[in-house]
Amino acid sequence: MNNEEFDPCHSIKVPFKVIEGGVTAARGFKAAAISCGIKNPDVTRLDLMMITSDVPTVTDAAFTTNKVRAACVRVSQLHIKDSDTRAIIANSGNANACTGLQGIHDAKAMCKATAESLGVRMRQVLVCSTGIIGMNMPIQRITPRVRELADILSPIGNDDAARAIMTSDTKPKIYAIEVPIGKGQSFRVGGIAKGAGMICPNMATMLSFITTDAKVSKDELKRAMRFAVDQSFNRITIDGDTSTNDTVIVMTNGQANAPAIKKGSPEAEIFRCALQKVMMELAKMIVSDGERVTKFVEIRVRNARTQSDAKKAAEAVAKSLLVKCSFNGSDPNWGRIIHAVGYSGARIREEMIDIYFSGIQACKGGLTAKTPVADLEKVVKEPRFSVTIDLNLGSANHIVYTTDLSEAYVDFNSSEYSAAVHAKRQKGLV
């Protein structure tokens, strides 16, 4: 699948090399994780992690736009405002959302314990949580363990950290690259992520922590961050439709053996595209590992009148349940696709629309292309394929990544709250 026309970085030569180490691949970062029994005191699984930089950082973050924001999001938004960040502490098993003042106290207590263990200021710590909404954090099982967590911080702690933020994810999401710039010089960018709940991509908490040893200014980081998030996580997490806890954090500490990246320089473009590359790979891992997902589908809209039209059309198709059901059944139902394009709000001319499944034409000028259905079925039976919708009205393109909707998803999501409450009740916790 060739996405050149959808990738603003395709003309930028980023001669990167994929490396190990994820969030600890960049120089001067450490990580660790422990098991606190946050979701269930009887189950041993990593559920509390920490990432630190040895030196002060320049850090930027993107938070959920949901008006119901978790306590940890509120506290992190406050902390990132006026301080250089030294550490992230994050847990899975409880989202600390809809937990009121107690939630704020708990999120602050996690920051305080982290700051004390590391000898930094509380405002230098960001906090993230993911898990069930509306239940207080079992904070008494968390804060007393933070020093122990800080004690095992390690430059090879990445894999544990990646596992500790998983909820219904089936595998950790880790990616890192090294980018040579100049003679024998390079910077590294790496990160971890968690996702899942991908029926409507935006409905699940998405966390991603990225570190880089590149030397960049706050302004340049902000610009690069906005660009890279828009090209990656925003292609799966649709605007205004995010969960209570979604957070992406990028920490830069300048420890690379490379000069500072100057505004407007070729290196600035390379940095931006390197950040995009890491975020994009993590975003794709999130989609592929969506809850009970059997298909990974690229929805590409071509030749829309405007960028906004291209985006509207792609997102409407990517979110349509009837479209997702037909992907699940390997059914090349282009009628449902054109129907979603029709209600998307994008300007279209029905008689101009062409639709392709991985390049094989299903609809031509709004009508059936008369391709043998067996040829189309062969494509949609694959676990990965693309749907291209050519509006033939202009030159704006947009791509979105989506999945099928499976029966198993519905089953899986039918009784979370009851199950969680019953489990706690059995243990005398509520």
Residue 203 touches its own copies, criterion: CB under 8 A: yes
CA-CA-CA-CA torsion for 358, 363, 366, 370, nearest 10 degrees? 170
Residues, the chain: 430
| DSSP three-state, residue 135 | coil
The nearer residue to its own copies, 55 or 352, going by C-beta atoms, is 352
The CA-based dihedral angle spanning residues 116, 94, 61, 68, taken in that order and rounded to the nearest 10 degrees: -120
Six-digit token pair at 307? 């960028």
Give the binding range for its own copies (CB under 8 A) out of 118-126, 159-167, 181-189, 360-368: 360-368
For its own copies, the binding residue among 1, 219, 260, 343 (CB under 8 A) is: 343
Alpha-carbon distance 393 to 309, whole Å?
A: 10
Q: Does 367 bind its own copies (CB under 8 A)?
A: yes
Residues 6+ apart with CB under 8 A from 11: none
The DSSP H or E segment spanning 229 is helix 218-231
- Nearest residue (CB) to its own copies, 219 versus 407: 407
d(CA 390, CA 398): 11
- For its own copies, the closer of residues 208 and 320 by Cβ is 320
427 part of the interface to its own copies, by CB under 8 A: no
Task: Tokens 């499976």: give the residue.
Answer: 406
Does residue 418 touch its own copies according to CB under 8 A? yes
- Compute the distance between CA of residue 316 and CA of residue 301 in angstroms, rounded to an integer: 11
Is 317 among the residues that bind its own copies (CB under 8 A)? no
| Binding of its own copies by 97 (CB under 8 A) | yes
Residue from 104, 122, 325, 423 that binds its own copies (CB under 8 A)?
A: 325
Residue 68 binds to its own copies (criterion: CB under 8 A): yes
Whether 189 and 278 have beta carbons less than 8 Å apart is answered as yes
> Judged by CB under 8 A, does residue 413 bind its own copies?
yes
371 binds its own copies (CB under 8 A): no
> Is residue 92 involved in binding its own copies (CB under 8 A)?
no
Give backbone dihedrals phi and psi of 232, rounded to 5 degrees, phi first.
-130, -85
Rule CB under 8 A: say whether 234 interacts with its own copies. Answer: no
CB of 200 to its own copies, least distance (A): 5
State which of positions 160-189 bind its own copies (CB under 8 A): none
Query: CA of 26: how far to CAs of 158, 162, 258, 262, in Å?
Result: 11, 15, 12, 20
**Per rule CB under 8 A, is residue 391 in the interface with its own copies?**
no
Contact between 200 and its own copies per CB under 8 A: yes
Q: Which residue, 41 or 329, has its beta carbon nearer to its own copies? A: 329
* Options 205, 212, 388, 403, the catalytic residue: 205
Binding to its own copies by residue 352, rule CB under 8 A?
A: no
- Rounded to the nearest whole angstrom, what is the least distance from the CB of residue 116 to its own copies in the complex? 29
Catalytic residue flag (residue 205):
yes
Name which of 277, 226, 255 is nearest 13 in CA terms: 277
Is residue 366 close enough to count as binding its own copies by CB under 8 A?
A: yes
- Considering only 85, 94, 211, 242, the residue that binds its own copies (CB under 8 A) is 242
Alpha helices in 19-125, H assignment, sequence order: 71-81, 100-118
Taking CB under 8 A as the criterion, which residues in 257-286 touch its own copies?
Answer: none
338 near its own copies, rule: CB under 8 A: yes
Question: Which residue in the set 183, 264, 351, 426 belongs to the binding site for its own copies (CB under 8 A)?
Answer: 351
Kindly report the number of other CB atoms within 10 A of residue 294's CB atom. 15
Q: Total residues at the site for its own copies (CB under 8 A)?
A: 72
> Do 117 and 147 meet the contact criterion of CB atoms below 8 Å apart?
yes
Strands 173-180 and 17-18: antiparallel
Q: Which residues are catalytic?
A: 205
